[in-house]
Amino acid sequence: MRIVLGVTGGIAAYKAAHVLRGLRERGHAVRVVPTEAALRFVGAPTWEALSGEPVSTTVFEGVENVEHVRIGHEADLVVVAPATADLLARARAGMADDLLTATLLTATCPVVVAPAMHTEMWFNAATVDNVATLRARGWTVIEPASGRLTGADTGPGRLPEPDDIIQAALAATGRSAAPDSADASTVTPVAPADDSRTDESRADGALSGASVIVSAGGTREPLDPVRFLGNRSSGKQGAALAAAAATAGARVTLIAANVDSDVLASLPAGVDIEHVSTTAELEAACTAHASSADVIVMAAAVSDYRPAAAAQHKMKKTGDDLTIALVENPDILRGLVELRDAGRTRTGQLLVGFAAETGSHDTSAESLAQAKLLRKGCDLLVFNDVSGDRAFGHDDNAVVVYRAGADGAEEVARSEGSKAHVSNDVIAAVAAERSR
């Protein structure tokens, strides 16, 4: 591939040399386009020696080749690492006041940027807005890492490791981070109908850099200090989805509602876990994450009702029948849809609901799920038929994934097998929906 590596004027500019080297080692031709400020941190000879190509910061050099248009036109991928707050602002505004921004304006290939800056700059409303706009235009903006910054301070804003940047960048073109030889395997973001490949390889890289929230398990509504209203969800499917999303390159938070520790022990390192118990706690956790999530997968089984009041002390037998008043719980998925539609969440956020239905004598479980998708207003709905003791607690599952199309619910995937296998297919459907 022909890759443009943009380097801007941040303290992490030296790390771009490792990104450059890693891309070259994988067989790619790399043209480095630094900004003037970047050259104050790392000089042109470093970029020229490591890339074997000339370096310029301005549109007024190499004019005979119309470089300010040609470089972008010929690129198969543009990576900017590190990307300053200033670069994000200039790119968002469509400026072309140096060779890098002109290249970004003329590139029609995937663009992947790795911002690095102080935490305050990263969380500044202008930067948040610029990032959201660039993402909405189709750019991949890799979330910065947390850690030591320029001075003694720490926090989100650090440039991710060069290998992670390379992986995310190549994934944006549908390639793995393997060498770019003729027989190097390419990774398709959407799961193909090829069962000879492993579950992991099918999902690998498809959600690189995305922030994914998965809820799992089942909520419990206290009746008294020892009893609760609950459901039979084990959390296995949600945990498998979190693992699949992490394998696909996402930063994953699992909001676990009463999930056994042995189920959580199967999660890959790096998946954050937040424990909740009641529907109100689950709602609060989901809402807290809503503003920064690219994808929210609501796999937890939520209690529709809760006791109007939980008894302070353990309830005793009275010899009479007992009637418990229930009040309706908030509709968490509907609430997330409303937040998103009000523009209070990340632009382009994808909401995935789950419907565990049994159907009835006159309505099929599938048609109930399709109706739920349209009623809730989410983007995708994963349906599983739970009649006859299926799904709950088992290691296998069978699902149908619907998307909300112009003419109603459209089937986009069908998957059956282990919960890990099903999860990879669901995550592939999520990645496909994100790139529509």
Ligand X SMILES: Cc1cc2nc3c(=O)[nH]c(=O)nc-3n(C[C@H](O)[C@H](O)[C@H](O)COP(=O)(O)O)c2cc1C
The binding site for CTP consists of: 304, 314, 330-333, 354, 372, 376
Interaction between residue 10 and ligand X (CB under 6 A): yes
Q: Is position 231 annotated as part of the catalytic site?
A: yes
Q: Which of the stretches 2-10, 24-32, 181-189, 348-356 binds ligand X when contact is defined by CB under 6 A? A: 2-10
Residue type, 361: H
Catalytic, out of 231, 258, 329, 384: 231
Q: Which long-range contacts (CB under 8 A, 24 or more apart) does 144-149 make?
A: 144/114, 144/115, 144/116, 144/117, 149/118, 149/119
Find the part of the chain contacting ligand X (CB under 6 A) among 35-43, 67-75, 200-208, 253-261: 35-43
Question: Rounded to an integer, what distance in angstroms lies between the CA atom of residue 262 and that of residue 259?
Answer: 8
Q: Smallest distance from the beta carbon of 9 to ligand X, in angstroms?
A: 3
DSSP-assigned states of every residue in 282-344: HHHHHHHHHTT-SEEEE-SB--SEEESS--SS-----SS-----EEEPP-HHHHHHHHHHTT-
Q: State the minimum distance, in angstroms, from the CB of residue 149 to ligand X.
A: 8
Q: Which residues contact 168 (CB under 8 A, 6 or more apart)?
A: 112, 114, 140, 142, 160, 205, 208, 209, 249
| Residue placing its CB nearer to ligand X in the complex, 31 or 372 | 31
CB 113 within 8 A of CB 141: yes
Interface with ligand X, residue 8, by CB under 6 A: yes
Which one of 46, 51, 56, 84 is in contact with ligand X (CB under 6 A)?
84
Residue 127 sits at φ, ψ, to 5 deg, of -65, -45
Q: Is 85 in the site for ligand X (CB under 6 A)?
A: yes
Q: Taking the complex as a whole, how short is the minimal distance between the CB of residue 57 and ligand X, in angstroms?
A: 9
Query: Restricting to residues 393-422, which ones interact with ligand X according to CB under 6 A?
Result: none
Q: How far is the CB of 129 from ligand X (least distance, A)?
A: 15
Q: Does 128 bind ligand X (CB under 6 A)?
A: no
Tell me the Ramachandran region of residue 65: left when phi exceeds 0, alpha when psi lies from -120 to 50, beta otherwise.
alpha
Residue at 322: amino acid letter: L
- Smallest gap, in angstroms, from Cβ of residue 422 to ligand X? 42
Half-sphere exposure of 109 (CA within 13 A, CB side): 24
Task: Determine if 104 is a binding residue for ligand X (CB under 6 A).
Answer: no
Among 19, 59, 117, 369, binds ligand X (CB under 6 A): 117
Question: Which residues contact ligand X by CB under 6 A?
Answer: 8-12, 35, 37-38, 84-87, 116-117, 121, 150
Which residues are catalytically annotated? 231
